[in-house]
């Protein structure tokens, strides 16, 4: 007979393909109603950027059709992003569920470009996203997002981020005006970064993306100490030199005990090469998160302050960034459920 128990039993056979647990024990199934042959419920994913939604949809329908008597299946899709928590780790930022760092060992590989488009892509997929430009060596995020204004005071809450292209952004460039020689060193970087993380009223965020300075600088170190970083995305170009640098970045985050989500290859092309970063990721035992093609629209988007994900939403470049966003969001969910966020 078709009733709630029969439906729940069938749904218990459906696994989240990445979390390897059934969707009922993961508390993804809510508000189940069975009326005659109609089955209706909410399916709450762990991220709105879930790359496996279609697979889950297919598996759910297959399981329910197996019981007999089901004439109509009505799924209300939703998402709740859970927060990173590590026993004894750094203090979480209030309201911020997950901090994701974007890093590279050298400048010029497209770290800021990836950070901006990853953030905007996650926003487009329905997540609440912030972007913190912590790259004191070149705070480019304001230009890339087309924002001039600095931080705004907001009542008792302190400082407010600037909103652009569906995300909230804050830059060290707001507190260090353009053209100012960058003389912040050591503890000064740490305190600037701490201020931007903890004294800014971010509101509720599913993901806070941080554009780190390149290399093993003080800012990277203090970020790792200050923020509970869910995971790091390491950017590399296909070139050998860049891959060697990526290797150093992986080593640094390992030593700091910060989980690594994986390596993304930027500026992949038939002319200049592709696939090198994938091989390096395999060799280093980290995930390969995808390739972003070398394309003039990506550079132009940064120059004019309209990220390619916004300016060319149907392009292959945007598709690559959306896929990256899905991969990163999925890695984040997986780490949370593994219950061992301190290791990879």
Ligand X SMILES: Nc1ncnc2c1ncn2[C@@H]1O[C@H](COP(=O)(O)OP(=O)(O)O)[C@@H](O)[C@H]1O
Provide the minimum distance between the beta carbon of 111 and Mg ion in the complex, in angstroms, as a whole number: 5
Cβ distance to ligand X smaller for residue 107 or 311:
107
Count of alpha carbons within 13 Å of 55, Cβ hemisphere only? 10
Which partner from the list ligand X, Mg ion, none does 167 bind, CB cut-off 5 to 8 Å by kind?
A: none
Q: Where are the beta strands (DSSP E) in 82-182?
A: 96-103, 129-133, 152-153, 159-160, 162-164, 167-171
Q: Which is nearer to ligand X, 19 or 172 (CB)?
A: 172
The CB-of-308 to ligand X minimum distance in angstroms stands at 8
**Exposure class string for 83-112: b at 16+ Cβ within 10 A, else e:** bbeeeeeeebbeebbbbbbbbbbbeebbbb
Residues 126-165 that bind ligand X (CB under 6 A): 140
- State the Rg of the chain over Cα: 21
Rounded distance, CA 198 to CA 192, Å? 10
Which residue in the set 298, 324, 329, 332 belongs to the binding site for ligand X (CB under 6 A)? 298
Question: C-beta of 315: minimal distance to ligand X in Å?
Answer: 11
Minimum distance from residue 40 beta carbon to ligand X (Å): 44
Query: Residue 298 Cβ, how far from ligand X at the closest point, in Å?
Result: 4
Of the candidates 19, 91, 83, which has an alpha carbon nearest to the alpha carbon of residue 55? 19
Q: Which of 302, 323, 326, 327 binds ligand X (CB under 6 A)?
A: 302
Nearest to 226 by CA among 261, 171, 187: 187
* Pick from 174, 134, 133, 137: nearest CA to 153: 174
Does 267 bind ligand X (CB under 6 A)? Our answer is yes
- Residue 337 and residue 55: Cα distance in Å, rounded? 19
What φ, ψ does residue 294 adopt, rounded to 5°? -75, 120
Query: Which is closer to Mg ion, CB of 97 or CB of 111?
Result: 111
d(CA 276, CA 297): 23
Choosing among Mg ion, ligand X, none, which partner's interface includes residue 309 (Cβ < 5 to 8 Å by kind)? none
Site string for ligand X, 100-129 (x = CB under 6 A): ----x--xxxxxxx----------------
Closer by beta carbon to Mg ion, 111 or else 128 = 111
| Separation CA 238–CA 246 (nearest Å) | 11
Pick from 46, 47, 104, 112 the residue near Mg ion by CB under 5 A.
Answer: 112
- At 323 the three-state DSSP class reads helix
At 133 the three-state DSSP class reads strand
Name the segment binding Mg ion (CB under 5 A); options: 15-23, 37-45, 130-138, 249-257. Answer: 130-138
Among ligand X, Mg ion, none, what does residue 117 contact (CB within 5–8 Å per kind)? none
Q: Which two tokens stand for residue 118?
A: 């990853």
CA atoms within 13 A on the CB side of 63: 20
Residue 108 or 342 with smaller CB distance to ligand X: 108
Nearest distance in Å: CB 166, ligand X? 19
Pick what 226 binds: ligand X, Mg ion, none; C-beta below 5 to 8 Å, kind-dependent: none
CB of 109 to ligand X, least distance (A): 4
Q: Give the integer Cα–Cα distance in Å for 261 and 209.
A: 13
Which residue stretch of 87-95, 159-167, 248-256, 290-298 sits at the interface with ligand X (rule: CB under 6 A)?
290-298
Spatial distance between the Cα atoms of 220 and 186, rounded to a whole number of angstroms: 11
Site string for ligand X, 184-203 (x = CB under 6 A): --------------------
Rank residues 122 and 294 by Cβ distance to ligand X and give the closer one.
Answer: 294
Residue 154: how many other CB atoms lie within 10 Å = 12
**182 or 338: whose CB is closer to ligand X?**
182
What does the binding site for ligand X look like in residue numbers (CB under 6 A)?
A: 104, 107-113, 140, 266-267, 292, 294-295, 298-299, 302
Which residues contact Mg ion (rule: CB under 5 A)? Answer: 111-112, 135, 140
């Amino acid at each position: 007979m078709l009733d709630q128990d029969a439906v729940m039993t069938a749904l218990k056979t459906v696994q989240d393909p990445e979390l390897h647990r059934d969707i009922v024990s993961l508390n993804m199934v809510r508000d189940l109603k069975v009326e005659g042959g109609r089955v209706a419920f909410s399916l709450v994913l762990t991220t709105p950027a879930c790359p496996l939604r279609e697979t889950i949809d297919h598996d759910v329908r297959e399981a329910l059709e197996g019981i007999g008597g089901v004439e109509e299946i009505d799924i209300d899709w939703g998402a709740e992003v859970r927060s990173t928590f590590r026993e004894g780790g750094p203090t979480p930022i209030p309201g911020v569920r997950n901090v994701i760092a974007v890093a590279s060992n050298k400048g010029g590989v497209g770290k800021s470009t990836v950070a901006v488009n990853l953030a905007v892509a996650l926003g487009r997929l329905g997540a609440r996203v912030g972007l913190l430009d912590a790259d004191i060596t070149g705070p480019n995020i304001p230009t890339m997002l087309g924002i001039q204004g600095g931080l705004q005071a907001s009542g008792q809450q302190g400082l407010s981020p600037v909103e652009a292209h569906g995300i909230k952004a804050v830059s060290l460039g707001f507190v260090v005006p353009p053209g100012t020689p960058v003389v912040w060193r050591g503890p000064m970087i740490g305190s600037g970064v701490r201020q931007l993380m903890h004294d800014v009223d971010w509101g509720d965020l599913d993901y806070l993306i941080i554009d780190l300075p390149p290399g093993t600088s003080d800012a990277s170190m203090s970020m790792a100490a200050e923020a509970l970083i869910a995971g790091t995305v390491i950017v590399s170009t296909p070139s050998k030199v860049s891959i060697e640098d990526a290797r150093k970045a992986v080593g640094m985050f390992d030593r700091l005990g910060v989980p690594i989500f994986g390596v993304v290859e930027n500026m992949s092309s038939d002319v200049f090469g592709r696939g090198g970063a994938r091989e390096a990721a395999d060799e280093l035992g980290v995930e390969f998160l995808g390739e972003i093609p070398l394309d003039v629209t990506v550079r132009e988007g940064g120059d004019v302050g309209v990220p390619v994900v916004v300016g060319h939403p149907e392009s292959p470049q945007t598709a690559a960034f959306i896929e990256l966003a899905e991969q990163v969001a999925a890695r984040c969910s997986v780490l949370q459920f593994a219950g061992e966020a301190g290791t990879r």
